[in-house]
Structure 1
Protein backbone atom coordinates (compact mmCIF):
# COMPACT_ATOMS: atom_id res chain seq x y z
CA UNK A 1 0.00 0.00 0.00
CA UNK A 2 2.81 2.34 0.95
CA UNK A 3 4.68 1.47 -2.25
CA UNK A 4 1.53 2.27 -4.27
CA UNK A 5 1.29 5.67 -2.57
CA UNK A 6 4.95 6.35 -3.36
CA UNK A 7 4.39 5.44 -7.01
CA UNK A 8 1.28 7.63 -7.14
CA UNK A 9 3.16 10.51 -5.55
CA UNK A 10 6.01 10.13 -8.01
CA UNK A 11 3.59 10.05 -10.94
CA UNK A 12 1.87 13.23 -9.75
CA UNK A 13 5.24 14.92 -9.27
CA UNK A 14 6.38 13.96 -12.77
CA UNK A 15 3.09 15.18 -14.23
CA UNK A 16 3.50 18.48 -12.40
CA UNK A 17 7.09 18.89 -13.60
CA UNK A 18 6.05 18.06 -17.17
CA UNK A 19 3.28 20.66 -17.07
CA UNK A 20 5.66 23.27 -15.72
CA UNK A 21 8.27 22.39 -18.33
CA UNK A 22 5.58 23.02 -20.95
CA UNK A 23 5.45 26.66 -19.79
CA UNK A 24 9.13 27.14 -20.63
CA UNK A 25 8.58 25.38 -23.94
CA UNK A 26 5.59 27.62 -24.67
CA UNK A 27 7.70 30.71 -23.96
CA UNK A 28 10.54 29.51 -26.17
CA UNK A 29 8.08 28.69 -28.95
CA UNK A 30 6.43 32.09 -28.61
CA UNK A 31 9.80 33.84 -28.81
CA UNK A 32 11.06 31.84 -31.80
CA UNK A 33 7.92 31.16 -33.84
CA UNK A 34 5.83 34.29 -33.25
CA UNK A 35 7.31 36.83 -35.65
CA UNK A 36 4.34 39.18 -35.36
CA UNK A 37 1.04 39.38 -33.57
CA UNK A 38 -1.79 41.43 -32.19
CA UNK A 39 -4.12 41.17 -29.23
CA UNK A 40 -6.57 43.03 -27.05
CA UNK A 41 -5.35 43.74 -23.54
CA UNK A 42 -6.71 44.89 -20.22
CA UNK A 43 -4.33 46.34 -17.66
CA UNK A 44 -4.81 46.67 -13.93
CA UNK A 45 -2.34 48.69 -11.87
CA UNK A 46 -2.26 48.21 -8.10
CA UNK A 47 -0.55 50.52 -5.63
CA UNK A 48 2.15 48.96 -3.39
CA UNK A 49 -0.37 48.63 -0.55
CA UNK A 50 -2.94 47.07 -2.90
CA UNK A 51 -5.61 49.62 -1.97
CA UNK A 52 -5.64 51.79 -5.09
CA UNK A 53 -6.43 50.31 -8.47
CA UNK A 54 -6.51 51.73 -11.99
CA UNK A 55 -7.80 49.86 -15.03
CA UNK A 56 -7.24 50.51 -18.72
CA UNK A 57 -7.61 48.64 -21.99
CA UNK A 58 -6.49 48.79 -25.59
CA UNK A 59 -4.71 46.89 -28.34
CA UNK A 60 -1.19 45.55 -28.67
CA UNK A 61 0.72 44.74 -31.87
CA UNK A 62 4.28 43.59 -32.40
CA UNK A 63 6.72 42.61 -35.09
CA UNK A 64 10.15 41.23 -34.32
CA UNK A 65 12.67 42.55 -33.78
CA UNK A 66 11.81 45.45 -31.51
CA UNK A 67 8.75 46.89 -33.19
CA UNK A 68 5.59 47.26 -31.10
CA UNK A 69 2.50 49.38 -30.62
CA UNK A 70 0.47 49.76 -27.42
CA UNK A 71 -2.68 51.78 -28.11
CA UNK A 72 -4.51 52.59 -24.89
CA UNK A 73 -8.16 53.37 -25.64
CA UNK A 74 -9.93 53.47 -22.25
CA UNK A 75 -10.28 55.35 -20.00
CA UNK A 76 -7.85 57.74 -21.74
CA UNK A 77 -6.08 57.48 -25.08
CA UNK A 78 -2.32 57.06 -25.12
CA UNK A 79 0.02 55.62 -27.73
CA UNK A 80 3.39 53.91 -27.29
CA UNK A 81 5.25 52.97 -30.48
CA UNK A 82 8.60 51.22 -30.84
CA UNK A 83 9.96 51.61 -34.38
CA UNK A 84 13.15 49.61 -33.89
CA UNK A 85 15.26 52.71 -33.28
CA UNK A 86 13.24 54.81 -30.85
CA UNK A 87 10.31 54.43 -28.47
CA UNK A 88 7.65 57.12 -28.82
CA UNK A 89 4.97 58.05 -26.31
CA UNK A 90 2.08 60.30 -27.38
CA UNK A 91 -0.60 61.81 -25.15
CA UNK A 92 -3.47 63.20 -27.28
CA UNK A 93 -4.97 65.15 -24.37
CA UNK A 94 -1.73 67.07 -23.85
CA UNK A 95 -0.89 66.97 -27.57
CA UNK A 96 2.63 66.08 -26.49
CA UNK A 97 5.05 63.36 -27.55
CA UNK A 98 8.33 62.15 -26.12
CA UNK A 99 10.96 59.83 -27.53
CA UNK A 100 13.91 57.80 -26.27
CA UNK A 101 16.46 55.66 -28.02
CA UNK A 102 15.41 52.01 -28.11
CA UNK A 103 18.61 50.91 -26.34
CA UNK A 104 17.76 53.20 -23.40
CA UNK A 105 14.02 52.57 -23.27
CA UNK A 106 13.68 48.83 -23.89
CA UNK A 107 16.05 47.19 -21.42
CA UNK A 108 14.46 44.49 -19.27
CA UNK A 109 10.87 45.52 -20.00
CA UNK A 110 7.71 43.65 -21.04
CA UNK A 111 8.15 45.04 -24.55
CA UNK A 112 11.58 43.39 -24.73
CA UNK A 113 9.99 40.06 -23.78
CA UNK A 114 7.06 40.36 -26.17
CA UNK A 115 8.82 41.85 -29.20
CA UNK A 116 12.55 41.48 -28.57
CA UNK A 117 14.84 39.66 -30.92
CA UNK A 118 16.94 37.63 -28.45
CA UNK A 119 15.12 37.27 -25.15
CA UNK A 120 17.49 34.51 -24.01
CA UNK A 121 20.32 37.03 -24.13
CA UNK A 122 18.52 39.53 -21.90
CA UNK A 123 16.66 37.21 -19.51
CA UNK A 124 16.97 33.92 -17.71
CA UNK A 125 13.81 32.02 -16.84
CA UNK A 126 12.50 30.25 -13.78
CA UNK A 127 9.40 28.09 -13.48
CA UNK A 128 6.76 29.21 -10.99
CA UNK A 129 3.79 27.33 -9.50
CA UNK A 130 0.58 27.26 -11.52
CA UNK A 131 -1.87 29.94 -10.45
CA UNK A 132 -5.35 31.02 -11.57
CA UNK A 133 -5.41 28.28 -14.21
CA UNK A 134 -2.20 29.49 -15.87
CA UNK A 135 1.35 28.15 -16.06
CA UNK A 136 3.81 30.88 -15.02
CA UNK A 137 7.40 31.64 -15.94
CA UNK A 138 9.47 34.27 -14.17
CA UNK A 139 11.79 36.37 -16.35
CA UNK A 140 14.92 37.46 -14.51
CA UNK A 141 16.88 40.28 -16.23
CA UNK A 142 20.53 39.40 -16.72
CA UNK A 143 21.38 43.08 -16.25
CA UNK A 144 18.94 44.81 -13.93
CA UNK A 145 18.72 48.59 -13.62
CA UNK A 146 16.37 48.41 -10.65
CA UNK A 147 13.33 49.70 -12.57
CA UNK A 148 11.61 46.29 -12.40
CA UNK A 149 11.55 44.04 -9.34
CA UNK A 150 9.61 41.14 -10.83
CA UNK A 151 8.40 40.14 -14.28
CA UNK A 152 6.46 36.99 -15.17
CA UNK A 153 4.37 35.56 -18.00
CA UNK A 154 1.35 33.29 -17.78
CA UNK A 155 0.48 30.70 -20.43
CA UNK A 156 -2.70 28.77 -21.05
CA UNK A 157 -1.32 25.78 -22.92
CA UNK A 158 0.82 27.31 -25.66
CA UNK A 159 -1.03 30.63 -25.68
CA UNK A 160 0.28 33.71 -23.90
CA UNK A 161 -2.54 34.83 -21.61
CA UNK A 162 -1.07 37.25 -19.06
CA UNK A 163 1.92 39.28 -18.00
CA UNK A 164 2.62 40.73 -14.58
CA UNK A 165 5.33 43.06 -13.33
CA UNK A 166 6.32 44.84 -10.15
CA UNK A 167 8.24 48.05 -10.70
CA UNK A 168 10.98 49.59 -8.58
CA UNK A 169 8.40 51.41 -6.44
CA UNK A 170 6.43 48.24 -5.64
CA UNK A 171 3.57 49.09 -8.00
CA UNK A 172 2.07 45.96 -9.60
CA UNK A 173 0.77 45.90 -13.18
CA UNK A 174 -1.28 42.99 -14.51
CA UNK A 175 -1.98 42.62 -18.23
CA UNK A 176 -4.40 40.04 -19.59
CA UNK A 177 -4.47 39.26 -23.31
CA UNK A 178 -7.39 38.09 -25.44
CA UNK A 179 -8.08 37.61 -29.15
CA UNK A 180 -4.39 36.85 -29.67
CA UNK A 181 -3.41 36.34 -33.32
CA UNK A 182 0.13 35.34 -34.23
CA UNK A 183 2.12 35.70 -37.46
CA UNK A 184 -0.39 38.05 -39.02
CA UNK A 185 0.53 40.57 -41.70
CA UNK A 186 0.84 44.04 -40.19
CA UNK A 187 1.34 47.23 -42.17
CA UNK A 188 4.73 48.89 -41.67
CA UNK A 189 2.92 52.13 -40.83
CA UNK A 190 1.68 50.57 -37.60
CA UNK A 191 5.19 50.88 -36.20
CA UNK A 192 5.96 54.39 -37.39
CA UNK A 193 5.18 57.48 -35.40
CA UNK A 194 4.45 60.77 -37.15
CA UNK A 195 4.27 63.80 -34.89
CA UNK A 196 0.80 65.37 -35.24
CA UNK A 197 0.65 68.97 -36.39
CA UNK A 198 1.05 71.38 -33.52
CA UNK A 199 2.17 68.72 -31.03
CA UNK A 200 5.12 69.34 -28.73
CA UNK A 201 8.07 66.95 -28.81
CA UNK A 202 10.34 66.18 -25.86
CA UNK A 203 13.41 64.11 -26.77
CA UNK A 204 15.21 62.33 -23.96
Structure 2
Protein backbone atom coordinates (compact mmCIF):
# COMPACT_ATOMS: atom_id res chain seq x y z
CA UNK A 1 0.00 0.00 0.00
CA UNK A 2 1.04 3.56 -0.46
CA UNK A 3 3.12 5.20 2.27
CA UNK A 4 2.44 8.74 1.12
CA UNK A 5 -0.53 10.84 0.30
CA UNK A 6 -0.76 14.49 -0.71
CA UNK A 7 -1.74 15.55 2.76
CA UNK A 8 1.18 14.13 4.61
CA UNK A 9 3.83 14.63 1.99
CA UNK A 10 -0.40 16.38 -0.06
CA UNK A 11 -2.74 16.36 -1.34
CA UNK A 12 -3.50 16.70 -0.29
CA UNK A 13 -2.42 17.89 -2.57
CA UNK A 14 -1.30 18.11 -4.16
CA UNK A 15 -0.83 19.62 -6.96
CA UNK A 16 -0.81 20.77 -10.35
CA UNK A 17 -0.81 25.29 -14.72
CA UNK A 18 -1.40 27.76 -17.23
CA UNK A 19 -0.98 31.08 -15.41
CA UNK A 20 -0.05 33.77 -17.84
CA UNK A 21 2.69 36.13 -16.67
CA UNK A 22 5.41 38.28 -18.20
CA UNK A 23 8.52 36.29 -19.08
CA UNK A 24 10.80 37.97 -16.56
CA UNK A 25 13.30 36.49 -14.18
CA UNK A 26 11.90 35.87 -10.70
CA UNK A 27 13.07 33.91 -7.72
CA UNK A 28 11.23 30.85 -6.47
CA UNK A 29 9.46 32.59 -3.61
CA UNK A 30 8.04 35.25 -5.93
CA UNK A 31 6.82 32.58 -8.35
CA UNK A 32 5.22 30.58 -5.54
CA UNK A 33 3.38 33.60 -4.17
CA UNK A 34 2.26 34.54 -7.68
CA UNK A 35 0.94 31.01 -8.17
CA UNK A 36 -1.02 31.09 -4.92
CA UNK A 37 -2.44 34.55 -5.60
CA UNK A 38 -3.60 33.72 -9.12
CA UNK A 39 -4.73 30.12 -8.76
CA UNK A 40 -7.98 29.74 -6.83
CA UNK A 41 -8.81 26.41 -8.48
CA UNK A 42 -7.15 23.81 -10.69
CA UNK A 43 -7.46 20.30 -12.04
CA UNK A 44 -5.14 17.91 -13.80
CA UNK A 45 -3.14 14.71 -13.44
CA UNK A 46 0.09 13.62 -11.79
CA UNK A 47 2.73 10.93 -11.47
CA UNK A 48 4.16 10.30 -8.02
CA UNK A 49 7.45 8.55 -7.25
CA UNK A 50 8.83 7.63 -3.83
CA UNK A 51 12.54 7.35 -3.01
CA UNK A 52 13.56 5.72 0.24
CA UNK A 53 16.07 7.21 2.64
CA UNK A 54 18.61 4.54 1.67
CA UNK A 55 18.49 5.70 -1.95
CA UNK A 56 16.27 2.92 -3.23
CA UNK A 57 13.27 3.67 -5.37
CA UNK A 58 9.88 2.76 -4.00
CA UNK A 59 6.43 2.78 -5.46
CA UNK A 60 5.29 4.86 -8.44
CA UNK A 61 1.64 5.84 -8.70
CA UNK A 62 -0.53 8.11 -10.81
CA UNK A 63 -3.92 9.73 -10.76
CA UNK A 64 -5.80 12.98 -11.07
CA UNK A 65 -6.80 15.87 -8.86
CA UNK A 66 -9.01 18.91 -8.54
CA UNK A 67 -8.92 21.65 -5.92
CA UNK A 68 -10.62 24.91 -5.06
CA UNK A 69 -9.58 27.25 -2.28
CA UNK A 70 -10.12 27.18 0.59
CA UNK A 71 -9.71 23.59 1.68
CA UNK A 72 -11.73 21.79 -0.97
CA UNK A 73 -10.07 19.13 -3.07
CA UNK A 74 -10.32 15.62 -4.48
CA UNK A 75 -7.14 13.63 -5.01
CA UNK A 76 -7.68 10.31 -6.77
CA UNK A 77 -4.93 7.74 -6.99
CA UNK A 78 -5.83 5.33 -9.80
CA UNK A 79 -2.69 3.19 -10.33
CA UNK A 80 -1.44 0.88 -8.97
CA UNK A 81 -3.70 1.03 -5.88
CA UNK A 82 -6.93 3.05 -5.89
CA UNK A 83 -7.33 5.62 -3.12
CA UNK A 84 -9.52 8.70 -2.86
CA UNK A 85 -8.88 11.77 -0.68
CA UNK A 86 -11.65 14.36 -0.46
CA UNK A 87 -11.58 17.64 1.44
CA UNK A 88 -15.03 19.20 1.71
CA UNK A 89 -13.92 22.33 3.54
CA UNK A 90 -14.65 20.92 6.97
CA UNK A 91 -13.52 17.30 6.91
CA UNK A 92 -10.99 15.13 5.12
CA UNK A 93 -12.31 11.81 3.83
CA UNK A 94 -9.76 9.12 2.96
CA UNK A 95 -11.18 6.05 1.19
CA UNK A 96 -9.18 2.88 0.68
CA UNK A 97 -11.19 0.44 -1.48
CA UNK A 98 -8.87 -2.49 -0.78
CA UNK A 99 -9.39 -2.16 2.96
CA UNK A 100 -13.07 -1.20 2.51
CA UNK A 101 -12.40 1.60 4.98
CA UNK A 102 -13.02 5.35 5.16
CA UNK A 103 -11.06 7.51 7.60
CA UNK A 104 -12.50 10.92 8.55
CA UNK A 105 -10.59 13.79 10.17
CA UNK A 106 -11.36 17.40 10.88
CA UNK A 107 -9.85 19.57 8.18
CA UNK A 108 -7.89 21.76 10.57
CA UNK A 109 -6.18 18.74 12.11
CA UNK A 110 -5.55 17.02 8.78
CA UNK A 111 -4.34 19.94 6.67
CA UNK A 112 -2.03 21.90 8.94
CA UNK A 113 1.51 22.39 7.65
CA UNK A 114 1.17 19.99 4.73
CA UNK A 115 1.72 20.34 0.99
CA UNK A 116 -2.06 20.51 0.64
CA UNK A 117 -1.98 23.74 2.62
CA UNK A 118 -0.12 25.37 -0.30
CA UNK A 119 -2.23 23.89 -3.07
CA UNK A 120 -5.69 24.14 -1.54
CA UNK A 121 -5.31 26.10 1.70
CA UNK A 122 -5.54 29.81 2.36
CA UNK A 123 -3.13 32.31 0.84
CA UNK A 124 -1.17 33.27 3.99
CA UNK A 125 1.88 31.11 3.33
CA UNK A 126 4.19 33.13 5.56
CA UNK A 127 2.09 32.27 8.61
CA UNK A 128 2.60 28.55 8.12
CA UNK A 129 5.89 28.14 6.24
CA UNK A 130 9.37 29.63 6.13
CA UNK A 131 9.89 30.37 2.43
CA UNK A 132 13.27 30.43 0.69
CA UNK A 133 14.48 30.73 -2.89
CA UNK A 134 15.77 27.35 -4.04
CA UNK A 135 17.64 28.65 -7.07
CA UNK A 136 17.79 27.04 -10.52
CA UNK A 137 18.12 23.31 -11.11
CA UNK A 138 17.08 20.91 -13.88
CA UNK A 139 15.78 23.81 -15.94
CA UNK A 140 13.33 24.90 -13.22
CA UNK A 141 13.17 27.68 -10.64
CA UNK A 142 12.59 26.32 -7.15
CA UNK A 143 10.93 27.57 -3.99
CA UNK A 144 11.55 25.89 -0.65
CA UNK A 145 8.82 25.73 2.02
CA UNK A 146 9.73 24.60 5.53
CA UNK A 147 6.87 24.13 8.02
CA UNK A 148 6.97 26.32 11.10
CA UNK A 149 5.02 23.75 13.12
CA UNK A 150 7.28 21.35 15.00
CA UNK A 151 4.84 18.46 14.57
CA UNK A 152 4.56 18.69 10.79
CA UNK A 153 4.44 15.43 8.84
CA UNK A 154 7.24 16.55 6.52
CA UNK A 155 10.56 18.34 6.92
CA UNK A 156 10.76 20.34 3.69
CA UNK A 157 9.03 20.82 0.39
CA UNK A 158 10.40 22.17 -2.89
CA UNK A 159 8.18 23.47 -5.67
CA UNK A 160 9.53 23.69 -9.22
CA UNK A 161 8.36 26.29 -11.72
CA UNK A 162 8.89 26.51 -15.47
CA UNK A 163 8.27 30.22 -15.87
CA UNK A 164 5.00 30.72 -14.03
CA UNK A 165 3.89 27.08 -14.40
CA UNK A 166 4.08 24.78 -11.41
CA UNK A 167 5.38 21.51 -12.83
CA UNK A 168 6.60 19.52 -9.84
CA UNK A 169 7.00 19.13 -6.11
CA UNK A 170 9.64 17.37 -4.04
CA UNK A 171 8.70 16.47 -0.46
CA UNK A 172 11.17 15.18 2.13
CA UNK A 173 9.58 13.60 5.20
CA UNK A 174 11.01 13.45 8.70
CA UNK A 175 12.63 10.05 8.02
CA UNK A 176 14.53 11.08 4.90
CA UNK A 177 12.10 9.61 2.38
CA UNK A 178 11.51 11.78 -0.70
CA UNK A 179 8.30 11.92 -2.70
CA UNK A 180 8.37 13.55 -6.13
CA UNK A 181 5.22 14.72 -7.89
CA UNK A 182 5.27 15.58 -11.58
CA UNK A 183 2.17 17.26 -12.94
CA UNK A 184 1.41 15.85 -16.37
CA UNK A 185 -1.58 18.17 -16.83
CA UNK A 186 -2.63 21.31 -14.98
CA UNK A 187 -5.65 23.44 -15.91
CA UNK A 188 -5.91 26.67 -13.96
CA UNK A 189 -9.13 28.21 -12.62
CA UNK A 190 -11.63 25.92 -14.36
CA UNK A 191 -15.31 25.88 -13.49
CA UNK A 192 -15.79 23.04 -11.01
CA UNK A 193 -19.01 21.30 -10.01
CA UNK A 194 -19.30 21.66 -6.19
CA UNK A 195 -20.46 18.03 -6.01
CA UNK A 196 -16.87 16.99 -6.73
CA UNK A 197 -15.98 17.98 -3.18
CA UNK A 198 -18.62 15.87 -1.43
CA UNK A 199 -18.08 12.31 -0.32
CA UNK A 200 -20.55 9.64 0.74
CA UNK A 201 -19.01 6.45 2.10
CA UNK A 202 -19.93 3.43 -0.02
CA UNK A 203 -22.34 0.97 1.54
CA UNK A 204 -20.71 -1.69 3.68
CA UNK A 205 -17.39 0.05 4.39
CA UNK A 206 -16.03 0.79 7.86
CA UNK A 207 -15.97 4.51 8.76
CA UNK A 208 -13.33 5.49 11.32
CA UNK A 209 -12.81 8.90 12.89
CA UNK A 210 -14.79 12.11 13.23
CA UNK A 211 -17.73 11.29 11.00
TM norm structure 1:
0.87
What do the CA deviations read for 1:161-191 (whole angstroms, capped 9, x no partner)? 0011111121110001122101101111111
Query: Does residue 173 of structure 1 match 2:179?
Result: yes
**2:30 aligned to which of 5, 25, 28:** 25
Secondary structure of residue in 2 paired with 1:29:
helix
Query: Does residue 111 of structure 1 match 2:128?
Result: no
**1:157 aligned to which of 144, 155, 163:** 163
Runs of 4+ in 1 over 3 A off after TM superposition: none
**Counterpart in 2 of 1:35?**
40
Task: Decide whether the 8 Å contact of 2:82 with 2:96 is kept in 1.
Answer: yes
Q: Aligned-residue CA RMSD in angstroms?
A: 1.4
The structure, 1 or 2, with the larger RCO (C-alpha pairs under 8 Å, 6+ apart) is 2
**Counterpart in 1 of 2:192?**
186
Task: Decide whether the 8 Å contact of 1:47 with 1:172 is kept in 2.
Answer: yes
**Counterpart in 1 of 2:67?**
62
Query: Does residue 124 of structure 1 match 2:114?
Result: no
Query: Does residue 46 of structure 1 match 2:46?
Result: no
Task: Decide whether the 8 Å contact of 1:108 with 1:144 is kept in 2.
Answer: no
Query: Does residue 141 of structure 1 match 2:147?
Result: yes
TM norm structure 2:
0.84
User: Any gaps of 5 or more consecutive residues in structure 1?
Assistant: 1-17
Q: Which has the larger radius of gyration?
A: 1
Secondary structure of residue in 1 paired with 2:196:
helix
CA distance in 1, matches of 2:120, 2:186: 14
